Structure formats: structure tokens, C-alpha cells
Chain A
Amino acid sequence: MADRQTLGSTARIARHPIHPMLVPFPIACFVGALATDIAYAMTAQMMWSDFSAWLLVAGLIMGILAAIAGLIDFLGNPEIRAQTPAWPHLLGNATVLVLSFFNALVHTRDAWASVVPTGLILSVIVVLILPVTGWLGWSMVYRHGVGVDP
């Protein structure tokens, strides 16, 4: 295991890594989109589908920003890249963003087809991936000490 001194973050403000500040946004948005998708599927009230569409777009924007900060850390420090959870964390979250992009397109369909079934299925898959990639990310910080100030 690498020493904490060598696992510093590259994308940071006043020695605070940016990536962990941004990741809550896409997580909350994509989980929220699943909740509003379920609400739509149960009620057929378009308001819920509209909420999902906004949550997906907001989650994508913030998720892309989080991905940029994370990629800078990943590419900026070979010691971070060498951590066991790093690659699965990156690939898992890239999958989340790609699926959510397609999910946002599905949500541009009109009325029932905007959610059921494809949109709802994509939302479920994304929310199932998030705890796994989150766990891997937390491992890197809390166990390996990535980005932790020495």
C-alpha cells in the first residue's frame, strides 16, 4: 500500500479535493429520479415524469463535473491509479453516466413512454450501481487515504 504522503489529489481547492464535494449531487439526483419514476408509473401524473427529466439532466451535469475532477486525480497521480478500487470505481461511474444519458433521452419521449418501461429500468440499474461505486470510492478515501491531507 502506498504511503499517504504520495496519494494527494490534483484537482483541489485550498487542499480540499473537489471530486468528493461534487459526487453527492449526481447520487442524490439519480436516486431522486428513480423515486419520481416510480411515482409516475403509479399515478401517470406527468408532473413526476417532468421531475425525473430535470433530475436526470441536473445529475448528468453535476456528474460530468464530478467525473472531470475525478479523472484529473486519477490521471494526475499514478499512485491513485494503482489503488485496487480505482479502475472499478471509474468504470462503474462511467457506466452510470452513459446509462443516465440514454435515460435522459428516453425521458424526452412523450407521456407514458417517457418512463415505462425503459426509463424506469435504466433508473433502477443506475441506482443499483451507485452503492457499489460509492463503496469503492469511500474505500479509496477512508481505507487507502486518497486525497487525505497527511
Chain B
Amino acid sequence: MRFQWLSMAHTMRVPRVLAFIALASCLAACDDGGGDPNAQIGPHPTLPEPTQYLLPPLHIARIVGWQKGETPSVAQGLKIQALATGLEHPRSLYVLPNGDVLVVESKSPAVQPIRRPKDIVMGWVESLSTSGGSNQETNRITLLRDTHGDGVPDVRSVFLDHLNSPFGVALVGNDLYVANTDAIVRYPYNSGDTKISAPGTTLAPLPGGPIDHHWTKSLVANPDGSSLYVGVGSNSNITENGMEAEKNRAAILEVDRATGRWRVFASGLRNPNGLSFEPQSGALWAVINERDELGPDLVPDYLTSVKDGGFYGWPYSYYGQHVDPRVKPERPDLVAKAIVPDYALSSHVAPLGLAFYTADNLPDTYRGGAFVGEHGSWNRSTLNGYKVIFVPFKDGQPSGMAQDVVTGFLNSDNQARGRPVGLAVDKSGALLIADDVGNTVWRVTSAVR
């Protein structure tokens, strides 16, 4: 703990007096920097006892950005280059059938209500960890077109503008759906369009403000196009904004595309993102950001299949029946039926992107598995995440240890050059990565082709 606070003071340049207050007050509940994250990857993570802090571990990589010529590092057999730079907080990606790439540039909803003094401090901390605070144009979708297939887009246009903290995109036929933070909006799209000027039509409202804690609404259409699935994150870490604020949140909603009628498909998923259909089983999968402030190794974020009507624990419990002591009144009836998720990714990695790989550009070992974009930790003295990993799959289930695929988002001083968020696979089979701190879209291809 001592080391971690000194290192925080160093990397974030927090006033020294704050660091001393932190040192003094950690006496009651000191921790180490956390164990080996690899012990928490896979179907059976080790779970330590929860800890309560006077000040939770707080370590965010200071932002330095990419210098000219710098790129992330890739695993053997791969190469990486920037598809587009100079974007404004790109958070997710969508590839249209003609190969055009949509880059969703988005920032958090403007003003979050301040309910207690902590909100002021946490707002300041978050402002240090993101590049989204600039006044540049954002909350728009930029289209990239690479006519020659050489990884260098020759068309770049503003596809849709003046959106409300958008994140998810899904195309069914000629209907393009954008998941703003407060609604799914439909736009007419014709193949080859580089800009949509028609006004959108709201298909279904989504839980948005005035409190809008987890605001990214991930979106996917089912294979026959009849329904849309949208991830709605919780409105708090662990119900500290009140239970009323959690209505229809921490859930995946199923929206009927024809009528806009919706229902809760699965719940207890604190912040579900990267909604995707697993290619072999056809099941819906997602990556989930689990709760903070219980310790450096609690609670592991996870990758899981999502069952119709399933309850995955939040807020009452985690990993099945591990009861969270912070939630009252208790609900033993719900804890009893909480489903243990499929595959832990280790604690605080903040997975926000998921892409199953079925193309054939990358080496064969990646076929059928899943890439996961890990935005990176704040609630842990030893940083975790800040990379893109690969989880091998067999028969529709993860099989074996996750591998690092794209790293180097942190430099050797643990400063953030970038942070990966959403993932997509382009028409040529390359892996695309949205980097919301480096303001870049990265493109990973096979080194040999």
C-alpha cells in the first residue's frame, strides 16, 4: 500500500499532502498490490476475502499519447498499423457489409449529479484518465473507406453527427440502429452511403439520465434480424445511488425490431458490453465489468454466455453465491439462483470490446476464438488490463488460457499511450481496435500476407 500510494503520487502528480493523507489513513486496511492476475483467468478464478478501505486503491495510468511512429506491440505472426488517427475519443467500431468502417466517437453524458462529496473527487480522478474532456467535436460516427484494401482509408467522412453519447451500432437490411445512451435510434441506410442526413426514428428508449453512471449501450442484432440486444450498465458501483436508480439496468434488454417492445433478457450483469453471438453455438456472449472497492483481486471481470432469463448476481452477489456485504436489503432468493459466469478475465481489467474471429486473415490459431479489449484498471495499485487478449474457444466454450495479442498501450513508465475499447473484424479479416486515449483505430493483420 505504501508503495502504491507513492507510485500514484508519482504518476499522477497528486499533491504530496494527499499522498500523505492516504498513507496515514491506509494504516487500518493496507493491502499489497494484488496477486498474479493469471490466477484469476479462466473458469475457476481464485477469490480472496473482500476488504473494506478507508481509501480504495487508486492508480490510473497518466496519459501521454502516442509519439510519432509508436504503435502497440503485437504477438508473433501479426503486424499492426493505424487505420485512422486524430479521432475524438473513438469507443466502438462497426463494419458495414461493403467493408466501410464506422468509428463511433463518443463521450460520457455531460453532467452527472453530485450526490455526495465523493462524487466530486471521483469526477476529478476520471478526468485524469480520459482524453474525452476536450471541446473537439465528438458524439458522432465517422466513416472510413479503404477502396484499395491497403489499410489506408481513402474516404473519411462524418457519417452521423449530433448523437447522444452513442456506443452500439447494428445494421439489419437497410435499417441502421444506433444505441445512444438514452435510446435506440433507427436511420435509413443504403449500401455505399458515406453520410446519413435523414432524421432518426426512436425505436425504444433506454435507461439514461439524470444519473447515467455506466452509459455505454452495446448493441447487436440476432442472426435473423428480428430482435436487437442492448447492454445497459448499472447506475452505480454497488447501489450507492439508490435502488430506484437501477430499474432495468445491469441487464441485457431484448428489443423487438418490428415494434420496439422490449423485455429484460438477462439481469445481474453489472456493466455488459461487447454483445456478440458465438459463431459455433449461436449463443449470446458479452464481457462484463464487475464491481470495485473490495480489493485488488475482487471482483474479476468476465466473459460469459448470457442465458435467457439468467441472473448473474449483481448487486447481491458475485461469482454465484459470494454475497456482497454492501448491499441491503439482502435478497437470498436471488443469490441462490445467481449463475456463475463462464470465464474470468481477472480483476479490474475493464473489458469493453469483444469480437469472435471467423475470418481467415490472421493465423489459424485465432479462428473461432474471441478477442477481448481491456480498457485497463483504476482500482488496483498494480495496473491490469490495458491490452487486447485472445481467448481460445472449442465447441462453443472457452478452452485454455488467454493470450496477450496487442500490448504496449502502457509505456515502460506505466503511462498510457492509449487504451483499447471496442473491437471489430473488417471485411478483409483484420482485427480493428478503437483506442479512446490514443484517438486512433488500430488494424492488426497477419505478418506474412
A binds B: yes
A interface vs B, CB < 8 Å? 44-47, 49-50, 53-54, 57, 102, 104-114, 118
Which secondary structure dominates chain A's binding surface? Answer: helix
Interface footprint category on B: 20 to 34
Q: Which of B49-57, B219-227, B368-376, B406-414 contacts A (4 or more CB under 8 A)?
A: B49-57
Chain B nearest Cβ from A1, distance in angstroms: 40
Name which residue of chain A comes closest to B50, CB basis.
A113
Q: Are B328 and A44 interface neighbours, CB within 8 A?
A: yes
Contact of A50 among B54, B115, B239, B293 (CB under 8 A): B115
Q: Are B326 and A102 interface neighbours, CB within 8 A?
A: no
Contact of B326 among A106, A108, A113 (CB under 8 A): A113
Q: At the interface, yes or no: B174 with Cβ under 8 Å from chain A?
A: no
Name which residue of chain A comes closest to B118, CB basis.
A108
List the 6 closest A-B pairs by CB distance, nearest first: A110-B240, A105-B54, A111-B326, A44-B328, A53-B116, A108-B118
B54: which A residues are within 8 A, CB to CB?
102, 105-106
Chain B nearest Cβ from A35, distance in angstroms: 17
Name which residue of chain A comes closest to B245, CB basis.
A46
B116: which A residues are within 8 A, CB to CB?
49-50, 53-54, 107-108
Q: At the interface, yes or no: B86 with Cβ under 8 Å from chain A?
A: no
Chain B nearest Cβ from A148, distance in angstroms: 38
Q: Are A113 and B325 interface neighbours, CB within 8 A?
A: yes
Assess A112 versus B25: contact at CB under 8 Å? Given A45-B242, A57-B117, A105-B54. no
**B residues 95-135 touching A (CB-CB < 8 Å):** 115-118, 121
Q: Are B53 and A109 interface neighbours, CB within 8 A?
A: yes
Contact of A110 among B25, B117, B237 (CB under 8 A): B237
Q: Are A109 and B239 interface neighbours, CB within 8 A?
A: no
A113: which B residues are within 8 A, CB to CB?
52, 325-326
Q: Are B242 and A110 interface neighbours, CB within 8 A?
A: no
Alpha-carbon gap, A57 to B53, bound state (A): 18
Alpha-carbon gap, A73 to B241, bound state (A): 43
Chain A nearest Cβ from B339, distance in angstroms: 23
Chain A nearest Cβ from B294, distance in angstroms: 9
Contact of A105 among B55, B241, B293, B328 (CB under 8 A): B55
